[in-house]
Amino acid sequence: MQDQHIASAFDRDLEAIQAQIMKMGGLVENAILEAAISLETRDEERAERVRKGDKAIDELEELINEEAARVIALRAPTAVDLRLVLSVIKVSANLERIGDYAKNMGKRTSVLSQMAPVNDSAGALRRMAKEVERMLKDALDSYVARDAELAQDVIDRDTEVDQMYNALFREFLTFMMEDPRNITACMHLHFIAKNIERMGDHVTSIAEQVVYLVTGTTPDENRQKADKTSLQA
């Protein structure tokens, strides 16, 4: 009976932390979309709200870390339970980084709004961001449901994001060569593209946590990395 009490107290604690993770995830999803829309519509005020909103995301990460440490100290979980508590620390760290990238996108929107638009680049970036936001939603759903299959699906979809980034990298190079007046804008747009691609990496890392939690093994470490631009001449 005593054991059962302890177990369910732990479960309640864990559920409470996971609720905070979902709250944090919701804020981050929103930040990705809002940052992308601000960029496309050249809406500086909206971008400013994304920048300011990052504080709440950072605070949630700190809170989740404290809660996780408290649960470990109080319940002394072992084996799978411990793995679960440690995973919230990793997942919240990934969410915090994604939030940072969205914030950085918000900053660059203020600069880019002062410059002439470069083709439909902002639209392409918004579509790429939307894809990452969908992946994040599924990664968090897979986390709560301990659904390794959905998590693996998220991991596979990151290849598409990498391919979108590759195409944009080539496009920006072309725009810069065609007209040097595009150079500054393209540098910023390229950074945004790279940051969205990195968001995808962090989403993938969350999904990999899920696979590890459910199956006890890390997903294929040698998966093809589809961002080839660092090898591009």
Interface residues with a second copy (CB under 8 A)? 62, 65, 69, 72-73, 76-79, 82-83, 86, 89-90, 93, 104, 107-108, 110-111, 114-115, 173, 176-177, 180, 183-184, 187-188, 190-191, 194, 218, 230-233
- The maximal CA–CA distance of the chain, rounded, in angstroms, is 75
Q: Cβ closer to a second copy: 119 or 232?
A: 232
Of 129, 151, 111, 158, the closest CA to residue 30 belongs to 129
Q: Cβ closer to a second copy: 16 or 69?
A: 69
Q: Tell me how far CA of residue 83 lies from CA of 46, 142, 149, 192, in angstroms.
A: 39, 16, 19, 34
Q: Cβ closer to a second copy: 86 or 150?
A: 86
Q: Cβ closer to a second copy: 143 or 172?
A: 172
Question: Locate tokens 């793995």: which residue?
Answer: 83
Q: Cβ closer to a second copy: 16 or 111?
A: 111
Check the CA dihedral 22-27-32-37 and report its sign. positive
CB 38 within 8 A of CB 109: yes
Q: Cβ closer to a second copy: 142 or 209?
A: 209
Please state the closest distance from residue 188 (CB atom) to a second copy, in A: 8
Please list, in sequence order, all residues whose beta carbon lies within 8 angstroms of the beta carbon of residue 185, skipping any fewer than 6 positions away. 112, 115, 116, 118
Please state the closest distance from residue 191 (CB atom) to a second copy, in A: 7
Please state the closest distance from residue 193 (CB atom) to a second copy, in A: 12
Cα gap 225→148, rounded to integer Å: 21
Please state the closest distance from residue 24 (CB atom) to a second copy, in A: 17
Q: What is the dihedral of CA 207, 19, 74, 206, to 10 degrees?
A: 10
Please give the backbone phi and psi of residue 218, each rounded to the nearest 5 degrees, phi first.
Answer: -80, 145
Please state the closest distance from residue 184 (CB atom) to a second copy, in A: 6
Question: Locate tokens 């409470």: which residue?
Answer: 16
Please state the closest distance from residue 58 (CB atom) to a second copy, in A: 8
